[in-house]
Chain A
Amino acid sequence: MVAKSHSLFEWQIIGPAIVDSFKKLNPLSLLKNPVIFVTEVGAAVITLGLFSRSENEPFGFVLQISFWLWFTVLFANFAEAMAEGRGKAQAKALRKTRTQTIANRLKADGSVERVQAEQLRKNDLVFVSAGEIISADGEIIEGVATVDESAITGESAPVIREAGGDRSAVTGGTRVLSDRIKVRVTANPGESFLDRMICLVEGAARQKTPNEIALTILLSALTIIFLVVIITLKSFGFYSGVTFTVTVLVALLICLIPTTIGGLLNAIGIAGIDRMVQKNVLAMSGRAVEAAGDVDVLLLDKTGTITLGDRQATDFLPAAGVSVEELANAAQLASLADETPEGRSIVILAKKYGLRGRSISEMARTRFVAFSAQTRMSGVDFDGRQIRKGAPDAIRAFAGDNVPSELQGAVSSIALSGGTPLLVADGTKVLGAIHLKDIVKGGLKDRFERFRAMGIKTVMITGDNRLTAAAIAKEAGVDDYMAEAKPEDKLTLIRKEQAAGHLVAMTGDGTNDAPALAQADVGVAMNTGTQAAKEAGNMIDLDSNPTKLIEVVEIGKQMLITRGALTTFSIANDVAKYFAIIPAMLVSVFPVIAPLNIMGLRSPLSAILSAVIFNALIIVALIPLALRGVRFRPLGAAALLRRNLMIYGLGGLIAPFPGIKLADLIVNALHLV
């Protein structure tokens, strides 16, 4: 993995973040965050009021309130800067791969010139040979090569890239290991895939997501409401003969407006994208991460996502009068030189029947027959024997239509169960059948089960026939499947689900997946896929692991839950702050109200100061939660709600009482007021 997760508090990140917290004090940049903007204005008002304060307010008290209000703003800025800093640290790691390279550019006259990578423009043609670094994102138009993409994906095994088809895209910064390819550049400098990635993780290109906008509206509305509450309170106080000072009113205002969630909102959003990067998934926008949380239909390709992609031999079914060992022996001989995964799996299965591994070299007078599309068989000739394994009709033709009837039955039952049957023949004698099976990845069934509990429907997409598809769907535990699917069917299916109000996520890598990737609410393109697929999707998985779609959904949900939990917590906090501040404001004129001071705070001044201190420190205390995210649990909505409401709703109601009391004890112990 390139983008390593950083431990939460590293000095390399904290240092610059502290500097940034001060830079972010610029009111113009704070305007985007109305709650914190109002806090800053309040802090400024009190600071200016230091010199025109009323007589019964000690200088030290006003000074401390103003300090803590500035701290509130700084803490909010710090949370955002921390989130950005973590992103930047990851961007730095990514940027290292973008070392200066020299490209061999093909000129119009056919000659080749050497240029700096940044001089390359879209549609330029370049040659890259073994050992060289590909200098820009592009598409192979000639040749085939093995490419080391570990710089991007962290995966050390090289991958094959070739012109045409779905594996033609190459990424700038990766190294060609063998052969020579001709690449058409598809991105200008600064617009490449890597550049966009870096921008995103740094948070520079971040825009507010729809839900963040809605939440900001609500938080602004609460801020306006509390402004009205405070302004009118001044009149009511005047009527009642109580003079509320500006310091006290501003302190009450800042305690009431939702500074906690207001201060952490941006950090939560940035951290969401950041968590995707840690999973080696690049989200093109925060909106995509948010949509991932809302997804309720997952379209999963069978091959590679649900099954391992290769079929494996799981069973030998001998014909009557043939022992299983005999069949296993023949099957192994026929597969010795077969380097396909299926062939290897037959050799391995045969070992279970007491056959030791044989090496090709020890066998004399041997001729291996490789698989070909015409014969659809492979095998071996030795000692005059002709051993073959292959598709049932091919073997039937080879053995002279000499297949026992019980084997016919085995063949069709294997096909019915979703497997692939192979027959093994020694000359004209058919020895038995091999059951090749699609292997469903481990743990998927549980995972799909949990998804079901969360209300997410899984749909398997496969080109297999209906029978095979049904069998695998059942084994994997998906809710639904689409058999004999053509790429355009995916698009139709997505549209249908969306029309019913669902949000759909899918993965894809081929050019013919592009329309569906674009249509899906969350389209995760594989990094190994074509440029078209990558541009159509709104996320890219650097590891090209389609199963990761599931984690993408979880991260999206986690971000939304974190945002909701801190909002609830923030608003629930207000109750306790009222109990701290309101009695303190009134007790001088109406001493009878003292029983309302249920926390037993020492004095009016220390009560107000303690509430303000708690209000500021709670932001710092919650930064780790905002950055890490609330732990995700795959539960149904009702259970999740109950759990989170107990923790963050009830917790938010209760926590400030001891918190403010503690602050009050410290304030008094240190004689701060």
Chain B
Amino acid sequence: MNLYGWIQLALYILVLLLLTKPVGLYLIRVLDAGGRTFLDPALRPVERLLYRLLGLDPKKEQDWKQYTLSLLAFSFAGLLFTYAILRLQHVLPLNPQGFGPVSPDLAFNTAASFATNTNWQNYAGEITLSYFSQMVGLVFHNFVSAAVGIAVAAALVRGIARPSAKTVGNFWVDLVRLNLYLLLPLSTVFALFLVSQGVVQNFKPYEKATLVEPSNLQAPKNDSAAQTIAQGPTASQAAIKMLGTNGGGFFNANASHPYENPTPLSNFIQMLLIFLIPSGLTYYLGRKVKNQRHGWAVWSAMAILFLAAVLVCWRAESYGNPRLHALGVDPADGNMEGKEVRFGVFNSALFAAITTDASCGAVNSMHDSFTPLGGMIPLFNIQLGEVVFGGVGSGLYGMLVFVVLAIFLTGLMVGRTPAYLGKKIESYDVKVSVLAVIILIFSILGFSAWASVSQWGLAGLNNAGPHGLSEILYAYSSSTGNNGSAFAGLNGNTFWSNITLGLAMLFGRFLMIVPIMALAGNLARKKLPPPSEASFPVSGPMFIIILIGTVLIVGALTFLPALALGPIVEHFLMTGSGILY
């Protein structure tokens, strides 16, 4: 833990803080069907044309059921669309490497992965997918799945803010406007920026480079004298994968690949892009519910949880592994296994915390190679529900579920039926909120438990003992949480893993969205009395503590036993005995 790290951390948080309000204000315009933006002259005609093509009246809003049905129908159609492209990529254009069709289970897994904003990659992009599959089949989802997440968050915020309302917005309008005014322009700008940093953007076949010194470090090695250098339209995908917290790398090595993340500046900007929209959404929340302090309180709770995660991870990684120190590794280097030397311990730890606090899943280091506690942080972040800034939209709606539960748990202590910003939290709201939480827990623990005692689950493991359990837990946490990063020691590209991971992603996304939309609809119809002295305080240190406490207690109480058998035991084994996994 050195001064450069502290300076970068402070700079990162400061820039994020400064961008929160402008992004939030812009979101308010984008998420209002009649909102005006500076892009109107260019994009308004396109928007109108799209509505005409869809036969849509943008002024007509939907109730929560119509909104949810539209969303599910759209996402399911997108899933089928991508599945078809992956299966047919050998007959589709832009396939200079001549890749064959993707296997059915892997195609299902990949289609589910991108439709759910997970971007778990059981394939290696550069040896499996054509440029067409990447650009059309996957990047399409990078945009729309991000928009779907933001749309749900917007619907929930509308539900909280509106007094006695029947509708929560129009899904199609939100979808069109989010893509048109927010995601496309921003990702275009940042794609160009990434190109300026050296990220590749072309349709060329892969290059062969002759090695100066033949390599024989890894086996099997097909090109010990020459190296294949993958190419492709990377920058356009890299920008939206961060901005939309998708995380699916163009290359298998993701953001640790020099063509995807070449410079310290590109690294900084990519990390910033991950939190940009989630952070702005907290401002959007505050503005919409007419309580900006509440928006900032939610932001602060997230920021504190984020800082804690970074610090623990950074501390564990810079401390390194005592067993390796004993073998003569300089303790001052920290744990550099699986890390890019360009990024070092701090930027790897920071990136790992950001990408798992959010549901991004892009990585610039290999989480599997972190120390047990350093690696537990990304895992625990995901298990908390990725509510620390979180995925675009999904972070906010996940956090708002915790807000509802926190207020319900402690709100009685002010002597009234708990109410969130004046809206009473009644049995229906509690029911759908706990449903959203239970689904995640069922999926993560259920699938992990199954995999940890089954042939197919154990077959994919590269590591035994507690570390193997961590890998399994990480896989199902990451897929259920729609994160997409991995403890890559686990080979997920087997039939059963493809199916179970794919299902976990679908459960974690859509089975969570339905109860949350129900919550939005139910909150919307409630009366909204003006705030008074008796209102539950939803800002200030007390609220922030309660919110953090609820997130941690629900997360810790649920996952602690499993974590105890995974990273915690591994940590003690590392420090207390000679065993190393």
Contact = CB atoms under 8 A, between A and B. Distances in A.
A596 B549 CA distance: 21
B558 A229 contact: yes
B528 interface: yes
A640 B413 CA distance: 7
Given A454-B533, A574-B557, A586-B569, A561 B410 contact: no
A266 interface: no
B576 interface: yes
A100 interface: no
A246 B452 CA distance: 20
A232 B416 contact: no
Nearest to A566: B412
A258 B441 CA distance: 18
A590 B553 CA distance: 25
Nearest to A252: B561
Nearest to B573: A592
Contact of B431 (A217, A296, A500): A217
A211 interface: yes
B431 A637 contact: no
A232 B415 contact: no
B415 A229 contact: no
Contacts of B562: 229, 232-233, 236
B534 interface: yes
Interface in B537-581: 537, 540, 542, 545-546, 549, 553, 556-558, 560-562, 564-566, 568-569, 572-573, 575-577
B417 A228 contact: no
A296 B557 CA distance: 37
Nearest to A568: B410
B214 interface: no
Nearest to B411: A564
Interface string A436-479: 00000000000000001111110000000000000000000000
Interface stretch (A149-157, A385-393, A522-530, A642-650): A642-650
Contacts of A586: 564-565, 569
B558 to A, nearest CB: 6
Q: Tell me which of B536, B564, B575 has the highest count of chain A C-beta atoms within 10 A of its own C-beta.
A: B564
A225 B572 CA distance: 28
Interface in B380-427: 405, 408-418, 422, 425-427
B192 interface: no
A430 to B, nearest CB: 51
Given A558-B415, A637-B414, A232 B446 contact: yes
A204 interface: no
Given A232-B449, A500-B530, A586-B569, A649 B561 contact: no
B438 interface: yes
A355 interface: no
A636 B572 contact: no
Q: Tell me which of A228, A232, A242, A560 has the highest count of chain B C-beta atoms within 10 A of its own C-beta.
A: A232
B435 to A, nearest CB: 8
A592 B449 contact: no
Nearest to A558: B415
A641 B414 contact: yes
Contacts of B458: 239
Contacts of B569: 240, 586, 590, 592-593
Contacts of B435: 221
A213 interface: yes
Contacts, number: 210
A218 B572 contact: no
B422 to A, nearest CB: 7
A561 B412 CA distance: 5
B81 to A, nearest CB: 35
Nearest to A641: B414
Contacts of A642: 542
Contact of A590 (B411, B453, B560, B573): B573
B248 interface: no
B205 interface: no
B220 to A, nearest CB: 31
A567 interface: yes
Contacts of A294: 416-417
Given A590-B572, A641-B410, A455 B535 contact: yes
Interface in A550-571: 556-558, 560-561, 563-565, 567-568, 571
A561 B410 CA distance: 9
Nearest to B416: A294
A67 interface: no
Contact of A637 (B530, B533, B572, B575): B533
Contact of A641 (B405, B438, B466, B536): B536
Contacts of A567: 409, 412
Contacts of B425: 214
A640 B418 CA distance: 13
B1 to A, nearest CB: 23
Contacts of A240: 465-466, 469, 565, 569
Contacts of B560: 578, 582
Interface in B509-546: 527-530, 532-537, 540, 542, 545-546
Interface in B474-513: none
Interface residues of A, number: 73
B415 A632 contact: yes
Contacts of B405: 218
B469 A236 contact: yes
B557 A595 contact: no
A241 to B, nearest CB: 9
A236 B163 CA distance: 47
Interface string B196-209: 00000000000000
A388 to B, nearest CB: 52
Contacts of B556: 575, 578
Contacts of A638: 537, 540, 542
Contact of B536 (A225, A236, A637): A637
Interface string A574-615: 110010001000100010110110000000000000000000
Interface in A247-300: 252, 256, 290, 293-294, 296
Contacts of B527: 499-501
B109 to A, nearest CB: 23
B580 to A, nearest CB: 13
A502 interface: yes
A70 to B, nearest CB: 25
A231 B409 CA distance: 26
B356 interface: no
A235 B573 CA distance: 21
Contact of A236 (B416, B449, B533, B537): B449
Contact of A564 (B412, B431, B545, B573): B412
Contacts of A228: 441-442, 445-446
A446 to B, nearest CB: 16
Contacts of A382: none
Q: Tell me which of A213, A453, A501, A645 has the highest count of chain B C-beta atoms within 10 A of its own C-beta.
A: A501
B434 interface: yes
A210 B410 contact: no
Q: Tell me which of A215, A235, A556 has the highest count of chain B C-beta atoms within 10 A of its own C-beta.
A: A235
Interface of B: 163, 405, 408-418, 422, 425-427, 429-431, 434-435, 437-438, 441-442, 445-446, 448-450, 452-453, 458, 465-466, 468-469, 527-530, 532-537, 540, 542, 545-546, 549, 553, 556-558, 560-562, 564-566, 568-569, 572-573, 575-577
13 contacts: A218-B434, A232-B445, A239-B453, A239-B469, A500-B529, A571-B553, A578-B556, A578-B557, A592-B575, A596-B568, A640-B413, A641-B542, A645-B413
Interface of A: 210-211, 213-215, 217-218, 221, 224-226, 228-229, 231-240, 242, 252, 256, 290, 293-294, 296, 452-457, 499-502, 556-558, 560-561, 563-565, 567-568, 571-572, 574-575, 578, 582, 586, 590, 592-593, 595-596, 632, 636-638, 640-642, 644-645, 648-649
Given A232-B448, A637-B536, A641-B536, 11 more contacts: A211-B417, A232-B445, A236-B469, A239-B468, A240-B466, A561-B414, A564-B409, A564-B412, A564-B413, A571-B553, A586-B569
